[in-house]
Amino acid sequence: MWRARCVSHPGLTKRGAGRHPRDMVWTVQRLDPDRSRRRLQLLAELASAKSVRDRERPRQQHDERLRELIAMRRRLAG
């Protein structure tokens, strides 16, 4: 039995008993448990940071617009 790495999909390996492509089956290489746990933790932290950023964005835009209006009023009054 032999294995061939797929260049376009690095996580996939072709395994086959024969040398003909129809005899091959795609298998996914398993990540070690620590790496998988760290990856899931990182993805959870990124999702959390994105949700916080999305919640804060409207307030920041409102504050910026308000500052622009105050500055314009000062320029016109001064």
pLDDT in tens, 42-59: 999 999 999 888 888 888
pLDDT over 80 (residue 62): yes
- Residue 2: which pLDDT band, with cuts at 50, 70 and 90? very low
Residues 28/15, Cβ–Cβ less than 8 Å? no
- Please state, in angstroms and rounded to a whole number, the distance separating the CA atoms of residues 59 and 11: 42
Please give the C-alpha separations between residue 24 and each of 15, 30, 78, in angstroms, as whole numbers: 5, 18, 79
Residue closest to 28 by CA, chosen among 11, 9, 5: 11
Main-chain phi, psi angles of 31, to 5 degrees: -80, 150
Residues 1/17, Cβ–Cβ less than 8 Å? yes
